[in-house]
Structures are given as C-alpha cells and as structure tokens.
Amino acid sequence: MRRRRWACALIVLAVPLLLALLGPLFAGEPGPRGASFTTGGGHGAGTDFVGRDVWRQVLLGGRPVVLAALAATALAYAVALPLGLCGALTHRRWLDELLTRPLDVLLAVPSLLLVLLVAAVVRPGAAGIALLVALVNIPDAARAVRAAAAEAAARPVVEALRMQGESWARTALGCVGRAALRTLAADAGVRLTGVLYLVATASFLGVGAAPDAADWAVMVDRNRTGMFVQPWAVALPALLIVALTMGTNLLFDAALAGRTPRPAPGRERPPAPEPPPADATYPAPGPNEKDEP
Amino acid sequence: MTGLRPWLLRRLLLGAGQTVAVVLLVFALTEALPGDAAVALAGDQPDPARIAALRETMHLDRPAAERLVDWAAGLAHGDLGSSLVSGRPVSSYLADGFGPTLLLATLTLLLLVPLAGGLGVLAARHEGRLVDRLISAVTLGVYAVPEFALGVLLVTVVALRLEWLPPTAVGHGDDLTAHPAVLVLPVLVLLSRPVCSLARLVRAGMIDALAAPHIAHARRYGIPGARLRYAHALPNALAPAAQQLARTVDWLLCGVIVVEALFVIPGLGTVLMNAVAERDVPVLQGLAVVFAVTGVVLNLAADTVIYRCTPRAGVAA
Amino acid sequence: MTVHTAHEIARIRDLRVEVDGRALVDGVSLRLAPGRITALIGASGSGKTTTGRALLHAYPPGATVTGEVSVPDTPVGYVPQHPATALNPARPVAALLQDIARPQVRHLPRRARRPALRHRVLDALARAQLPDGETLLKRYPHQLSGGQQQRVVLAQALLAGATVIVADEPTTGQDALTKREITGRLAAVARQGIAVLLLSHDLDVVRALADEVHVLHAGRLVESGPPELLRHAPQHPRTRALLTSADPTAAAAPPAPSSALPAPSSALPAPDAVLRVRGLTARHGSSRVLHVPELRLVPGCLAVVGRSGSGKTTLGRCLAGLHRTHDGQLRLDGAALPRSLRDRTRAQLAAVQYVFQDAHASFDTHRTILDQVARSAVRLRHRPRAEATADAVRTLRSLGLTGDLPHRTLAELSGGELQRAALARALLARPRVLICDEITSGLDPVTRRGLLTLLEGLLRADPDLCLVLITHDRDTAALATTLAVLDAGRLVEHGPAARLRTAPRHPLTAGLLQVPGPAPQPSPVGPDPQHQ
Amino acid sequence: TGTAPSGDAAGGRPRRGGTLRAAFAGGGAEETLDPHRANLFADVARAKALFDKLADFGADLSARPRLATSWEPNAGLDRWTVRLRKAVFHHGKPVTARDVLYSYRRIADPRQAFRAKASLAPLDLTASRAVDERTVEFVLKHPTAEFPNLLAAFGAYIVPDGTKDFTAPVGSGPFRFVSFTPGRSAVFRRHEDYWDGPPHLERLEFLVANEESARLNALLGGQVEYAHELTPTTARTHEGKGQIEIVRLRNSTMQSFAMKTDRPPFDDRRVREAFFLLADRRELVAGALSGAGEIGNDLFGKGYQYYADGLPQRRPDPDRARHLLKKAGAEGLRVTLDTSAVAAGFTEAAAIFRDQAAKAGVRVKVAMGSKDSYWQDTLDSGTLCCYRSGAMPLESHFSQRLLSTSTTNATHWRHKDFDALYQQAQSTRNTEDRAAVYARMQRRLYTEGGFLVWGFADWIVGTARTVRGVDRRAPANTLDWARFDRVWLT
Ligand SMILES: Nc1ncnc2c1ncn2[C@@H]1O[C@H](COP(=O)(O)OP(=O)(O)OP(=O)(O)O)[C@@H](O)[C@H]1O
Ligand SMILES: Nc1ncnc2c1ncn2[C@@H]1O[C@H](COP(=O)(O)OP(=O)(O)OP(=O)(O)O)[C@@H](O)[C@H]1O
Ligand SMILES: [Mg+2]
Ligand SMILES: [Mg+2]
C-alpha cells in the first residue's frame, strides 16, 4: 500500500523532473520559425505564439520553472520558518508584534501589485525575481508557520525542553516544527504552485524571465490566446506543471503517511487463530478507528 | 495573553499604524515607478510640452511629500481625495468597485468554507485510501491550473457550447444581483484554487487531529462521526486553515484581477489595475487604505481563531 | 475463584500482544462481571495498561495481537493513566461532556433539553467529586489541575453510561480525601451493575474495592484471587513483594527520616535557605490560585501536600519559572531568580529543576527517551554527548529503566516508566532544588520504594540538595523532614514533618496525613441517576 | 444571414431599429465623454457617435468634409475659409461658427492639455473669426497646404458654445446621450435630425470589456453584437466558421523598430541599412502578428494618400548586412532593444528580431520596459525600440515625428533639408507637386531613415452575423471605423 503510493508519487513527479533535468540535452538547435499557433508541419506539438516549436520549448522550459519555483519556495521558507517559529515560541508579545506586524504591512498589499511595483522600480533579473517572489511569500508563509506551530509551541514538552536549557533551534525545529510538519508540507506544496505562476505573471508584466522565455509557466501564460487553435502550447506545459506540483505534494503525503500511528489493517482485532468467537459483540471498529499511541 | 479584549484593542491600534505604513509603502512605490499620471495619460504621444501641461493641471509639479500631506489632511476629514485623471472623488471609485467585489467575495466564501472544510475532512478521514488520493489528486490538479485557463475552459464549455449560462457579465456590471446567472461561472473560477489550498491544509491538520488519543476517546463514547470530526477534531486543525482563509478573503477583496477581467465584472481589481496603469496616486492610496484595513481586520480575525484554538499558548512558559 | 461465568459481560482470553517480537502481554485471561470490580496489579511496566486497553480494542501501533477480546455493545468507559491525553486541548471541558449526554436528552421536548443536559453534566461531575462543576465547564483542559483532569475523565465515563469501565490508575493524582471519595464512587458504580477493571498500584484502593485481584508480572498473570486471599497467602514471590512493601505496617516505619538526613529546622538554627520565596501570589488569568507569603527551602526534603487543585503544581511551576504570572520574589542563594525560566541562565536552570506531573506530555514523541534525558547533561552541565549518554543510561538504570527501554520513544513506555524517565532527566542536571510533582503516583510499591531510597541516597550524598516532593502519597511524604500544607491556594501549615504528623494545627493536615485508609463503604453521594 | 459579406453596402436593404451592443476595451473609471479628452478607442468611438468633426479621414487618410462643406485657402495658404453645413445639435440649436471657434479655443487652451492641442497649434485662434453663422475664417501661423488634416485631427470635435460639463453631453453626432457609467457602459439613442440622415439603429450601447477573451466570449454568447480589437489568433479561429463575422481593417497599425539616428551605433547610416536588411519581415508578420497584416517597406502609411509604393520591397539579406556592419566597424555589434507589453506584437517582434539579428552576428538584448511609461521612456533614451503608430496622414507622421521641431521624434531624425522639404510641401498648392515632394522625403527615409517598418497590422473587429454595414476598409481611427450610424441589424 505504502509502496504503491510512493511509486505513484514518484512516477508523477519523475516525468516533469526528468524533462526539466534532461530536456535541454535533447532540445537541439532551434529550427526555423513557423507561423504562430499552427499544428503539424514538422512540429510535433505545433508552434507557439511566436512560431517556435512547442516541443523544443517544453524540453527547454522545465529547468527555469523548477529552479525558480523551488528556489523561491525554499527561500521563502528559509526566512518564514524561523520567523514563524519565533513568533509562536516567544512569550514576549512585543517581539511577536515586532516580527509579525511589519510583515502584515506587506501582506496588506496584493502580492501581484507588490511584485509589479517593486519589480518596476528595481528591475531585477531572473534571480532577482525569484528573490522578490520569495519575499512576497514570506509574510504569508511566516503566518502559516506560526499558525501551524502555535499549538505545538504551547505543549508541556516545550516547557520541558526549556527547562533543559535546550537550544532554540532544536526546540523550534526539532520539536515544534516537526509537530507541525504535515501542515507545513501541505502549505509548502501549495505555495510551490502559487510561486510558479507568480513568476510567470511577473515575466508577462515585464520583469524577470523574458516574456518569450522557454519556461513552462511563461508558456502557459503567453500561449493562452491560442488555446483553441493550438491547445498543445498550453496543455503540455500546464500538464507538466500539474504533474510537478501534484507529484511533489503526493510525495509529501506518502512520506508523511506513516507518521500517525494507525493500526495496520487486519490487526485492529485479534486475528484469531481460532474461529471468531461467537460472543464477540463489540462491533468491528470502523475504518477510522485509530489506536491511541 | 491576558484577556482577549485588551489584546484586540492593542491590535486595532497597531492596525492603524499598519494602515499608515501600507499607505506610505504604496505611495513610495508608486512614486518610484517610472512615469507618472501625466506620462501615462500622454500615452504614445509623449509630447514633452503636453506632459508638462498635464503635470501642471494635475498638480504633479508639487513635491511628493506636500501632496501626501495634503492627501493625509483630507483623509483626516474622511476625504480620500480625488482622481488625478478624471477628477472624480476617490470614494466614488471605491464605492463603485466595492459592490461587485464584495458580492463575489461573499458568495465565494459562503461556498468555500463548507466545501474546503468538507473535502479536507473527507480526505483526512480516508487518509491514504482511494478517496483521499482522489481528492488530493483532483485538488492538486485544479490548483495547478491557472484561473484564466479554467475560466476560458468553463466559459467555452458551459456557456458557449452548452449555453447554460451567460459567458460574461458584460453590461450587467451595475446590478449583478439582478442577474444571478452571470455570477455562477466567476464564483466557480474564484472558488477553484482556494478550495484546493484550503482543503489541503484542512486535510493535513485533520489527519493529525483525528489521530489524537482524545478523539479516539470521544469516539469510544459514541459521539456521532460528523460531530466528532467537525466539533472536536476540526478545532485542532483550524488554526492554519483560518490563516489561509484570511489570506483568501484578502485575495478575493483585493481584486481577483483575472476573474474580473475574464467575466467583465468591474470590481476593485479592475480599479486597482487601472489606477496602477494610470499612476493615479490618490486612487491607489484610497485602495491602499481599503486593503490595509481589510488586511488588519482579517489578520486579526485569523489570529483570534488561532488564539481560540490554541488556548494554552498564552500560559505556557 | 468464584466468578460467575454466566454473568460475565466482558472477557479477555489468552491475550498476547507482541511488538517487534517482544510480548508485552502474554496469555492473559480475564473475565469481567457486572457489578464486580476486578483489579489488576503488578509492577510498573508489567502490562496492566496494555491489558486494560485491549478491552477498548486499542493496541500499540504495529502490535501483533492474538487471543480473544469480547466486550458489550455499549461504550466502554476509560479513565486513562494520563488523563490529559483524553482531553481535547482545543475545546472546553463542557464540549465532550455535553455531546456524551446529548443522546440521553433527545427524548425530551426541545425546550427542556438544554437544562436537562446541563443538569446531567453537572451531576456527573459531582459524582466524579467535582462539586464545583459550573466553573470547570468553561475551562480548557490545561486550566485544570492534574487531579481535576482525572476526575473530568471519570465523569465522562460515568456520564456515558458505560457497562464496563477500565480505570487506569484512577486515584493517582488525588489527595487522600478525594481518593477516598473516588473509591466510594467506584464502589457505588459497581453496585449498579457495572463491571470495573481497576488497574492500580494503590493497594489501599485495591484492597478496599476489588472483588477479585489479578497480579501481572512481566506480561503474565501470576496469581489471581480475592484480595484477602492474596494478602494472607500470596503464592507468587512477586505478589509477596508487591504486597509486603505496601503493607501499612511496613509503611508505618517510614524511611528513617531523622536518622541520616539533616535534622529538621526545629533542631538546629535554621540553615541558609537555598531558595526563598516571598510574597508569592500566583494568578491564572485574573483568578488568584495561590498565595504564599513566605517560604524558605532549606537543604533537605520538603513535602508539599494538599488537596487536589489546591495549587501545589502551581507552586512548583512558580519556583521552576514555568508559571510567569505571579508577583513573588524568588531568591536562589540570595541572588534574585528571574521569574520566567526563559530569563534564567543555564546555571540557574540547572539549579532548579522540576519533574512534570504529566510525564507523558513532557516528552517529545519522536526522539528516544535516552536522547531526551541525556540532553540535560549536555545542555546544563556542558558534558560531551557520549559522556552525557553514559550518564543518562546509568541514571535510568538506577531508576529501573534497563535494557532497551531507554532507546524507545514515548509511546512505547508505560506510565511509570515515563515518570522515572522524567525524574532522570531532571537528575541529570544535578539540581540544587529538585521539585518532583507526583513522581511516585504511577509506581507500584516496589518501584516506589526503590525510587524513594534513591532520593534518600541523593539527599544523603548531597547535603545541600533541596528536594521538594509534591505528593498525595503518605509513604512518599514520609521522606520529608519538613511539610507544607496547601489549602485552596493558601499555605495553611508549614513546619517539621514530625510535628505536623503528630500535632497538626490545621484540620486538613490531619485529614491528609492521618487518613487510616480508603473507606470501604461508598461515599454518601446518591446512586447514578441514569441507572435508576 | 446572406452569404454576401455583411459589411458591404450590398448586404441588403438597411433595416431600421434595434439595439447594437458594442464591446470595447476601456479605461475604467477614468473614462470620459468629453470628446476633447478622448484618448482610448472606446472614448473615440463614443465621441464619434455623439459629436462631429469638421472633417474626417477616409480610408486613404485624406480629409473628407463632415460638418464643413468646403474649405478654401487664400493664395498664401495661411488663411482658410470654411463653410459649415446645416446641422443641429441634439438640443435643436444649429451648429454655428461660434461653436466651432469655441471648441477649437477650448482645445487650444494653454491651461489645459487636450490631445488635439498640438494638431491645432498652427492655427492662430485669436485672429480666426466667424464670418457669419456658418462661415469661419481660420488664420494660420504659417502656410499649411494640408489644413484639412487639421480639421480632421484626432479629438477635434465640435461642441456647443460654452459647454464645460460633459456628464450629459450634447453634440451634433448621429446619436444622443442616454446614460453613461465610466468603465462600464454608455447608452445612446438615435438622433433623428442628423444631417447625414438618421442612423438605422434605434439604440447603441457601448460596453467595456478589457480582456480580449471576454469581448470574444460576449460576442459568441450573444451578449454583444460588435467586439472591437480581437487578436489575430481569434480571427483565425473564427474566420469563416459562420459563428461570427471577422472584419479585418487593413493597414491600421504600422509596426516598426525605431533606431535613434543621432547616437551610436545608429548614427552611422550603414548600420541602419544593415538593420533594414536584417529583418525578415515575413517571419515577423507571421510570428508577431500571427499573419494578420502585411509586410512593411520601412515607410509609414502603406495604402495611404501620398505613400511611395514605387520603391522596391526590402528583403532580408544577412550577408550584405554583415558586410555593411563590417564596413561600419560594427562587427559583433550588441544593442539593446527596448520593448514592452504596451502593444500587441511588441514582445513577440522583439524576440523574433533578436533571433534574426543573431544570424548576422548582431547580438540584440531584449529589455522589457514598463508599459505605462513606455512611450516616454523610449522617446529620448535607448537606441533601439519597438514602435507602432495608428493611422494618420503622411503629413502628420512627418510633422509629429520627423522634423527638428517635432515633439515626438522617436528616431531623433533632425535634418534641416528634410524640414525644408516639409515646408515646401506645405506651401505647395498643387496636389501632384506636393506628392512629388513627399516622394522625395520618403525616398530619403527609405534609404537612411530611422524607422524599420516591418509590417502593417490588421485591426480586427468581430461582429455578430446579424450586423450589416460595417466598413471593411477603413483603418482604425478613420471615419468609417466604428461608425455606427451606417450599421443596421437584420
Ligand atoms: N508501543 C510499545 N512498544 C513497545 N513496548 C511497549 C509499547 N507500549 C508499552 N510497551 C512496554 O510494555 C510494557 C507494559 O506496558 P504497560 O503500559 O502495559 O505497563 P503498565 O503495567 O501499565 O505500567 P505502569 O504501571 O508503569 O503504567 C512496558 O515495559 C512498556 O515499556
Ligand atoms: N490556566 C488556568 N486557569 C484557571 N485556573 C487554573 C489554571 N490552571 C490551574 N487552575 C486552577 O488552579 C488551581 C490549582 O491548580 P494546581 O494545578 O496547582 O493544583 P494541584 O494542587 O497541583 O492539584 P493536583 O493535585 O490535582 O495536581 C486548580 O483549582 C486549578 O483548577
Ligand atoms: Mg500503565
Ligand atoms: Mg498538580
């Protein structure tokens, strides 16, 4: 069962990852441009909005997406995690306020607007835009972390760790963060997708990746006008993005699946070596009956 | 935390400060943007003399700080100033945009909360089994599809092929409530992604919550399944979801630009995008006030939920 | 054995619970009959809880279970060893109680339901010895004292109308007076035809209640019979050990408090106080729960006794810096001690250590116990890892946690084992002031004796050590040279143990220290309404 | 539902009545009914329905009389007498010379910044006067042979004397005002006393839908009958499918790259010529315009009056380009091409040109700019940028963009001799002679100008199948574009 889930998640994830990783090796030289949004004509998957071969763009377009999205998400979390945990763990209200209120200011400005404004002012490159998108995500992620960790941070274990003079990092990451892991994984997985499209939208608005860049997210965005003439130009990269985010999240799910104690099926009741007793009047525990640890 | 009320009061006070900060931030960023309202208005006729004249008529030749102070002084009397370009009061812009946005946001929320909660709980109940994997796969799949693609798809299939619903709200912008049919597709599109993200979070929290010994304990005493899940387990999983919900409301209010554009609903998102394009600073500042206030209120609400759901937080050493 | 098989309501036959090839319980058979109290006793870690939970069809994760368990269709009441685990931290106490009672009022007209519901809930609380239920209902679990939590869980079982109740150490967190009342309640419950499985260390309770006693040793039933039989003619050496060490006559010779230990303060001019508390007023929110004008902790052993909910834990937590909302002054060796442990230096942290009443909640679920225990030495005494681990292993072994036990995680240890691990964790910091909150509550008499001997040894080895024992247990309190009695948040009496024992000034002191044993008769609380 | 192209006058007998809903991209709450402030296509279309100009441009961008019936110059071409036709405003008062002068003076008000102000700059409005009720004598600051262009200028609408408030505007156009909500809708109804014959339509509704797909969907879903500005891809999808009619207004937008001729590397005419040869215009039109357009020949105004169509069509010649660059010492040249999402096809064209230039060893770096300030940003900075222009007479193109005094001279083309040629054309009364002068000017631009005009984009409009009378030739911005008084519904 577990193995099947792993396999399923890995297969879904492998397609976009392999394409992203190895695609550029097989992309080859650009052929001549065709007319925009045509199907056939030597282009297996048709042409895109500027008449390039869609398949070649797909091969080339994975790396930046995967890199930008992963980097921005990771970066956002690298900052948000300590911030959020700090907010959850401190009892100094002023510190909590000091950490969260300024971030709330960023939060009150719609992220797209913020990216748009800041990017128009500082004109960052591709790395800069990842940084910017990460920055925009920090307040949100920090709040998510804080919310997810709030309960765990108030547990007596944490008091006990403090009593032991345990270091902040170990308390925060090792104990509190770990307790909130599932929620954080869900949040991060979802955030990955959000980040991805924010990067794409930013590029359309003229910042970060070139607007005709080989980049799955940018492709989805830019080829939308031709969605009905040449669906592949949107569908292929979109499907790959779906696979990427779905695979990542399913992998998280599979990895975290075994963490809550749940009885293995068939073990909830004594697997009677003798025939089931006639007087077993207790109803079979429902499928959700969970054992206490 | 000593009592909810003083805390709320303090936060509201801080909120006022935050609003000021947001306004300053937006003002600074718009000022730093290349070009100003005059340049934007001049468009592809950037005749320098005309731009200078436009600047003068818009009072853009005065220092930024002075304009800000003027605007702030007006704000103190409840006057949000007036648009640089059209000269109409900013409050009328906001009032015009707020109605449709609020309507959409409310409808979406009304559906979003039960739907996302239900899906998340359902998935968590069946963690690892077919139902869960189905829900997870579908929500993740839908989440990875951008709004415009989903919107165009829905319009094509539901409105143009099947002709069940009108494709856009064009022409009904003033009175959406009179034509509820035009709202169906926008609300569907608006729902699509938040439902997914929220359901994921609820699911994650619920798996842990359902596995807690106190839930097994309650189940033992014959608490009905639904009540057990929603009244007993869910509060333990609620904090992150409430946080996410606050963000969603914020996102809904601050203009779901794509949906508004796709379905021609003249809401705040449209006002926002136009104001940015036109560098209409007073309108932007008015919007910033609206966003900041909703942001403060929503964050406060989310924090209150966290506060309620983690009652120990205040007393733990 | 005179069990009426015809009337048995629940049964365990040949139960074997195996984890990783190790049997936690092996070949256990039990029959529970309506109206009878079956006690299961045995050393800490002998498999009582595992057996008891089998009646709930709850087994350790990954366990292989063989045998047969049959229970009736009605809910099986359960009072777990760690009551906090059964309480939802995010909901007030009332939430579950009302939901349990709701089906019982469904037949009433809609308008009458609410008051009826309320009445039933309050009644159940009262029957569980929580007479002031009104105020408790709105509270969250963490706002209850350990004993109150336990009684709330008991109230749930009573309210649910269970025909079988598994009570895992139902009296551990209770003071002698409450304990007597709870025992009475259990007896009353049984008389209504409910089968009770009592898992307990407390032989007083067992003796007073049980119709039948089973002795577990290392997962196997070694002896069964009526309590008198066991007492007068125990067959198995284990039973003997359990029973003799807990015999009141044996306990009457307390562990020689005056011989080796420093003399009580009355004998000598008061030695310098290690920790001084002045003007301590602790609050939970706006309600004052503790007021101690002056308390000096001198080297030696101080026992803090008081009824459940009187503020003992709060006092301990104030000293340890875990409870911030108080306005007392703490001075450690004359120097001011910060109120919150976050502001304390590592030396100060090491100096004042607290062993949590709820040992279960004070451990991390993911790391091994050994790892967690050893961290004390690493962090507070700057020992290298290896040395700290060796130290931890040694300390754990001295507390009876041998073999692979230290290498397990929280979920794989029994309640008593956890309590000892928590003590080990504090000991590894080499504290000056060691506050132990009910550390013997989950221990069988043998283990408890061992533990007390160990503490005694500590006191002797380190004449500067200041041991604060928060306890309901008279045996444990016997170790003390000084006693402090708390009542409803006030320090009502404080003085040399010998004097308080012989000439108590406050009636409560007498009540707590001199109760002859649980009353064999039920307390005068009326019969359960739901069984009328 | 006939098979004949619906736009032709031959589409059947016009039918009276009905409401036409037209979807335009709008400007949100900033929209206005003040015709002098008109800035967007939607504004212009509305202004055109409510108001009239004295003249307007035909499909070849020559001025056609509207409210004016005739214009006569004096010998020096600096004094023009304009006769007005008999026309009435919606409130019943006649259109008079006073109204004309008031309107023009309002536009030229130095304290205001109306768009047509620059176009009317040659007029001396204090000296100009009303000769009688329906005769105006315009005095000009210098000879202006193309005076009629001025009357047809963008936004030079005639409003009743003294009008300041345009919340419920009164004009002389084919439709009367009913209601208006900025950014959402405008409703007009037929003006029965319209001088050009009352419109066929009973009502006209302008609806705002900024997103192209929204306009298209509204059209497909029957929510509007006219959708302005569709993309070429949409046109391809729906052309000839029978669901809707696609109207391609040819030669509507000039698409080009503008080189700054006064700064390196483009101050060397060999480099400019090399760039002319680098561009593969067919590929650009196919890629950037999705084929919806025609290739350009580095000159503005294909199909317009005076356009020099005799010059040979430029073809890509990378080898010669390379050679030229080598001669100019600009091998391995690197330039930055400014672009922005400000207009359709810009970013695409930039990317395509980058790849084309790379074939000749020129490395073009594409820089995306802010779309809101793009035109101003590229006016004086940078060296190479994407550029486009709507339809206007050749003369206006020269005067606005290619004279030393031009205010929007994006190529920094400043040459005394060229200015002189322009003056000469303006003082030439005879049309043929003037055409000859324009031809000389264009030849000069063809060989060494700064505009690399690679194409002319179609302007694409979609209409429901019930709509008749939509003109299919008029480039956007000309008289017959968005002219709803000639449209009827079957
Ligand atoms: N999940 C588990 N995996 C492995 N061993 C376990 C697990 N749970 C309990 N044990 C071990 O099984 C033994 C019996 O545990 P149990 O909790 O039944 O003891 P107990 O008699 O209730 O002890 P106590 O009086 O201390 O509560 C203990 O030694 C304990 O360490
Ligand atoms: N967070 C809280 N808010 C309000 N009241 C509280 C809170 N925590 C504890 N109390 C109350 O304070 C009193 C003292 O609690 P404390 O835990 O110190 O009792 P205790 O003496 O240790 O009892 P036990 O023997 O049952 O453990 C109790 O009546 C309890 O209900
Ligand atoms: Mg136990
Ligand atoms: Mg206590």
What is the C-alpha separation between C441 and C147, in angstroms, rounded? 11
Quickly count helices (H) and strands (E) in chain C. 20, 19
What is the C-alpha separation between C363 and A149, in angstroms, rounded? 17
What is the Cα D77 distance to its own chain's centre?
26
Residues 223-262 of chain B whose Cβ lies under 8 A from any Cβ of chain A: 225, 236, 239-240, 242-244, 247, 250-251, 254-255, 257
Write out pLDDT tens, residues B215-271: 988 888 888 888 888 888 888 888 888 888 888 887 787 657 778 888 888 888 888
Confidence of residue B173 (pLDDT cuts 50, 70, 90): low
Confidence of residue A208 (pLDDT cuts 50, 70, 90): low
Residues of chain D with pLDDT under 50: 1-10
Phi, psi (5° rounding) for residue C395? -60, -45
Ligand nearest to the CA of C444: 1
Q: Are C368 and C407 in contact (CB under 8 A)?
A: yes
What is the C-alpha separation between B68 and B30, in angstroms, rounded? 12
Confidence of residue A151 (pLDDT cuts 50, 70, 90): confident
Residues 6 or more apart whose CB falls under 8 angstroms from that of C441 comprise C169, C172, C173, C419, C471, C472, C473
What is the C-alpha separation between C285 and A43, in angstroms, rounded? 72
Q: Where are the domains of chain C?
A: 10-246, 299-513
**Torsion over CA: B84, B89, B92, B98 (sign):** positive
Question: Are residues B311 and C142, on separate chains, in Cβ contact within 8 Å?
Answer: yes
Touching check for C71 and chain A: CB below 8 Å? yes
What is residue C1's predicted lDDT score, i.e. its pLDDT? 38
What is the Cα B101 distance to its own chain's centre?
9
Tokens representing residue B258 in the block: 């794509």
Write out pLDDT tens, residues B59-91: 888 888 888 888 888 888 878 888 887 788 888
Q: Are A13 and B140 in contact (CB under 8 A)?
A: no
Architecture of domain C299-513: 3-Layer(aba) Sandwich (3.40)
**Looking at the DSSP assignment, which residues form a beta bridge with residue D489?**
D467
pTM given for the model: 0.85
Write out pLDDT tens, residues D404-430: 988 888 889 999 999 999 999 988 888
Q: Are A217 and A70 in contact (CB under 8 A)?
A: no
Pocket mutation for ligand 1, best pick of C50, C82, C199, C216 (most atoms within 8 Å of C-beta) = C50
Residues 399-428 of chain C whose Cβ lies under 8 A from any Cβ of chain A: 410-411, 422, 425-426
pLDDT at A212 over 50: yes
Decide if C10-246 and C299-513 have a common fold: yes
Q: Report which of C442, C146, C196, C420 is spatially closest to residue C306, judged by C-alpha positions.
A: C146
Helix ranges (H only) for C161-269 are 176-191, 203-209, 227-232, 237-245, 248-252, 257-260
Average pLDDT, stretch A48-77?
84
Residue of B nearest to A139 (CA): B247
pLDDT at A207 over 90: no
What is the C-alpha separation between C183 and C170, in angstroms, rounded? 9
Tracing tokens 């030396």 back to the chain, one arrives at: C347
Touching check for A32 and chain C: CB below 8 Å? no
Phi, psi (5° rounding) for residue C505? -90, -30
What is residue C13's predicted lDDT score, i.e. its pLDDT? 87
**Nearest-5° angle of CA C278, CA C281, CA C285?**
155
CB burial of D287-323 (b: ≥16 within 10 Å; e: otherwise) equals bbbbbbbbbbbbbbbbbbbbbbeebeebebbbeebbe
DSSP state string for D304-335: STT--TTSPPP---HHHHHHHHHHTT-TT-EE
pLDDT at A268 over 50: no
What is the C-alpha separation between B229 and A286, in angstroms, rounded? 14
Q: Are A59 and A23 in contact (CB under 8 A)?
A: yes
Chains that touch B (3 or more CB pairs under 8 A): A, C, D
Please state whether the peptide bond connecting residue A64 to the residue before it is cis, i.e. omega within 30 degrees of 0: no
Q: Which residues of D fall within a CB distance of 8 Å from A206? A: 340-341, 368-371
Nearest to C78 among B220, B227, B308 (CB): B220
Tokens representing residue D386 in the block: 């994407």
DSSP structure class, residue B157: I
Number of residues that make up chain C: 532
Confidence of residue A203 (pLDDT cuts 50, 70, 90): low
What is residue D235's predicted lDDT score, i.e. its pLDDT? 87
What is residue C260's predicted lDDT score, i.e. its pLDDT? 39
Average pLDDT, stretch A27-47?
76
Instruction: Give the 3-state secondary structure of D205-239.
Output: EEEECCCHHHHHHHHHCCCCCEECCCCHHHHHHHC
What is residue C259's predicted lDDT score, i.e. its pLDDT? 39
Q: Which residues of C fall within a CB distance of 8 Å from B214? A: 85-89
Q: Are C406 and C368 in contact (CB under 8 A)?
A: yes
What is the Cα C107 distance to its own chain's centre?
39
What is the C-alpha separation between D323 and D329, in angstroms, rounded? 10
What is residue D47's predicted lDDT score, i.e. its pLDDT? 92
DSSP state string for D293-310: EEE--S-S-TTSTT--TT
| Sheet containing D123-132: order of strands | D68-73, D79-84, D135-140, D123-132
Question: Are residues C71 and A174, on separate chains, in Cβ contact within 8 Å?
Answer: no
Per-residue pLDDT of chain C (532 residues; tens, 9 = 90+): 334 445 778 888 888 888 888 888 888 888 888 888 899 888 888 888 889 888 888 888 888 888 888 888 778 888 888 888 889 988 998 889 998 888 888 888 888 888 898 988 998 888 888 888 888 888 888 888 888 888 898 888 888 888 888 988 888 777 778 888 888 888 888 888 888 898 888 887 888 888 888 888 888 888 888 877 666 766 777 777 766 655 444 443 344 443 334 444 444 445 677 888 888 888 887 788 888 888 888 888 888 888 888 888 899 989 888 888 888 888 888 888 888 888 888 888 888 999 988 888 899 888 899 999 999 889 888 889 999 999 999 989 888 888 888 898 888 888 888 888 999 999 998 898 999 988 887 788 788 888 888 888 888 888 888 899 888 877 777 888 888 888 888 888 888 888 887 877 878 777 777 655 444 443 333 333 333 3
What is the C-alpha separation between C373 and C364, in angstroms, rounded? 11
CA of C144 to the centre of ligand 2 (A): 5
Average pLDDT over chain B reads: 84
What is the C-alpha separation between C308 and C85, in angstroms, rounded? 19
- Residue with the bigger pLDDT between A255 and C243: it is A255
Say if ligand 1 is within 6 A of residue C411 CB.
yes
Q: Report which of D209, D169, D208 is spatially closest to residue D191, judged by C-alpha positions.
A: D169
CA distances from D362 to D50, D87, D280, D355 (A): 51, 59, 14, 9
Q: Report which of C6, C44, C13 is spatially closest to residue C30, judged by C-alpha positions.
A: C13
> Between chain D and chain C, are at least 3 CB pairs below 8 A?
no
Residue B227, helix vs strand vs coil: helix
What is residue D174's predicted lDDT score, i.e. its pLDDT? 93
Say if ligand 2 is within 6 A of residue C312 CB.
yes
Residue of B nearest to D154 (CA): B45
Average pLDDT over chain A reads: 76
Architecture of domain C10-246: 3-Layer(aba) Sandwich (3.40)
Note residues around ion ligand 4 (Cβ under 5 angstroms).
C 145-146, 313, 357
Q: Are D301 and D307 in contact (CB under 8 A)?
A: yes
Q: How do C195-199 and C164-168 pair as beta strands?
A: parallel
What is the Cα B196 distance to its own chain's centre?
16
Say if ligand 2 is within 6 A of residue C170 CB.
no
Say if ligand 1 is within 6 A of residue C445 CB.
no
What is the C-alpha separation between B239 and B234, in angstroms, rounded? 9
Question: Are residues A193 and B143, on separate chains, in Cβ contact within 8 Å?
Answer: yes
Residue C456, helix vs strand vs coil: helix
Residue C224, helix vs strand vs coil: strand
Helix ranges (H only) for A90-180 are 93-107, 111-122, 126-153, 156-163, 168-169, 178-179
Q: Are B185 and B151 in contact (CB under 8 A)?
A: yes
**Looking at the DSSP assignment, which residues form a beta bridge with residue C64?**
C18
Write out pLDDT tens, residues D58-81: 888 899 999 999 999 988 888 999
Q: Which residue owns the Cα nearest ligand 2 atom 2?
A: C143
What is residue C522's predicted lDDT score, i.e. its pLDDT? 39
